[in-house]
Amino acid sequence: MTDSVLARHAVRSFKQDKLTSEEVDQLISAFQAAPCGMGQADVTQAVVIESDDMLQRFEKSVNDAAYGAPLLFVIATKADSQFGERNASVAAENVMVEATRLGLGSVYVMSAAMALQKDPDLIADLGIDDGYTPQVVVPVGHATEEIAANDRSDRYKVMRR
Ligand SMILES: Cc1cc2nc3c(=O)[nH]c(=O)nc-3n(C[C@H](O)[C@H](O)[C@H](O)COP(=O)(O)O)c2cc1C
């Protein structure tokens, strides 16, 4: 399947191989290209975690909710913005679709973001600005195994009029 939107699926088991610098750049470009409520760019920011020290500290803090991936996208938004969660979600999807295009696995993880919200020291050490709330974590890496495509063509109720 060549359509990255249709080929994307949740991956929760990762090899430890690091991503290349070019791959990380592509993921960041995809994040930057995401829709942005009323063009208010300062509502949203992201931390890309690649270092082993920080990855280990992060997984410990969130009780392994990021599945041991070799790279994490932590997307945070201004606490008082009506666009925050929406911006974070569309940006996460951009990152996941781009990861798929690059042959990488990913998953949208809300639980890790919620756990991180309870660790202000780690939030500060990640460089997330004061007043911003972690909303989504997107672990990215090479999947340990190929997951067979499942048919999601009937997932949601869709009306055509
Ligand atoms: C709002 C939201 C929250 C999610 N939170 C988690 C999570 O905390 N942990 C997790 O493993 N997957 C999480 N997921 C991924 C979903 O479980 C996954 O997308 C769903 O099972 C459908 O599978 P698919 O993405 O392969 O189509 C979340 C997805 C969304 C959209």
Tell me the CATH number at 43: 3.40.109.10
Q: Judge contact between 86 and 37, C-beta under 8 A.
A: yes
User: Is residue 148 assigned to a domain?
Assistant: no
- Residue 155 falls within a domain, yes or no? no
**Confidence band of 28 (pLDDT split at 50, 70, 90):** very high
Ligand 1 proximity of 108 Cβ (cutoff 6 Å): yes
pLDDT digits (tens, 9 = 90+) for 69-113: 999 999 999 999 999 999 999 999 999 999 999 999 999 999 999
Asked whether residue 1 carries a pLDDT value surpassing 70, the answer given is no
Helix (H, G, I), strand (E, B) or coil at 142: coil
Q: How confident is the model at residue 159 (pLDDT cuts 50, 70, 90)?
A: very high
Instruction: Look at ligand 1, atom 19, and give the residue with the nearest C-alpha.
Output: 10
Structure tokens of 156? 């949601």
Q: Is 10 in the pocket of ligand 1 (CB under 6 A)?
A: yes
The structural domain count of the chain equals 1
Please, which residues have CB within 8 angstroms of residue 20's CB and are 6 or more apart in sequence? none
CA dist., res. 110 & res. 62, Å (int): 11
86 ligand 1 Cβ < 6 A: no
Q: Vertex 86, ends 84 and 89: CA angle to 5°?
A: 110
CB-CB contact of 103 with 1 (8 Å) = no
Which residue puts its alpha carbon closest to atom 15 of ligand 1? 108
Distance 11 CA to ligand 1 centre (A): 10
Return d(Cα 14, Cα 35) in angstroms, integer: 28
Domain membership of residue 157 (yes or no) is no
In a domain, 15, yes or no: no
Residue 130 lies in a domain: yes
What is the Cβ-side half-sphere exposure of residue 157, based on CA atoms within 13 angstroms? 0
Residue 147 reports pLDDT greater than 90: no
What percentage of residues in the chain have a pLDDT greater than 70?
99
Whether 152 is in a domain gets the answer: no
Mean predicted confidence (pLDDT) in 121-140: 98
The answer to whether the CB of 55 falls within 8 A of the CB of 64 is: no
Range of the domain at 47: 20-141
